[in-house]
Copies of this chain bind each other. A is one copy, B any other.
Amino acid sequence: MPPSPRTDTAARILDVAERLVQVQGFNAFSYADISAELGIRKASLHHHFATKAKLGKALITRYQDRFRDALAEIRRGASDAPTQLKTYARLYGNVLRKQRMCLCGVLAADFETLPRAMRDGVLSFFALNEEWLTNVLEEGRRAKTLRFEGSAAPIAAFLVSSLEGAMLLARSYGRVSRFESVAKKLIGDLAMVS
């Protein structure tokens, strides 16, 4: 299994499917929706992704790969921990500004209806986020740019779930500012300088 879509057509299918899932959820979109938008017959879509489950898994894999790259990029920036957290939150905000939910956040709502491979992918995405945040938190505490009590891991879990929840409600309200407000508070409560 290749790490990225083999062909350009596969990538375009993933682009459309990704947006449809982020906006409507996994159970509300269909091959017919993609077909209509790309001008490609449903049967051709099945040539690239034999089943909806495999398409879903490919979506998660690509999404996570891109996210991993973005997280590594933030680390390479070598800014202080509070700034890294702000940049991290902006990743979420950028998704929301496109009127979308986090792919894995929306799949978490569909979780019980997903095939196992997709469930594993969703959990893996959250784990990636929490591991990255745990490192940033610990580094920030050592550098005295962040302040918090106890282990970093539960704080990381707290941050991920709070940001996902903030996205969920902000999109329903149609107010990105609701998300920004939560993100600002989360980071402000951790930063030593503020």
Residues of chain A touching chain B, judged by Cβ–Cβ distance below 8 Å, are 23-25, 27-28, 101, 105-106, 108-113, 119, 122-123, 126, 154-155, 157-158, 160-166, 168-173, 178, 181-182, 185, 189
Contact = CB atoms under 8 A, between A and B. Distances in A.
Given A166-B162, A169-B160, A172-B123, A112 B24 contact: yes
Nearest to A164: B165
A172 B122 contact: yes
A25 B122 CA distance: 17
A182 B168 contact: no
A83 B111 CA distance: 32
A154 B172 contact: no
A85 to B, nearest CB: 16
Nearest to A178: B157
A interface SS class = helix
Nearest to A101: B109
A181 B181 CA distance: 22
Chain B CB within 10 A, most for which of A110, A169, A173: A169
A162 B46 CA distance: 39
A49 to B, nearest CB: 20
Contacts of A178: 157, 161
B181 A154 contact: yes
A108 B185 CA distance: 22
Given A25-B110, A28-B113, A157-B182, A123 B173 contact: yes
A157 B122 CA distance: 26
A24 B182 CA distance: 28
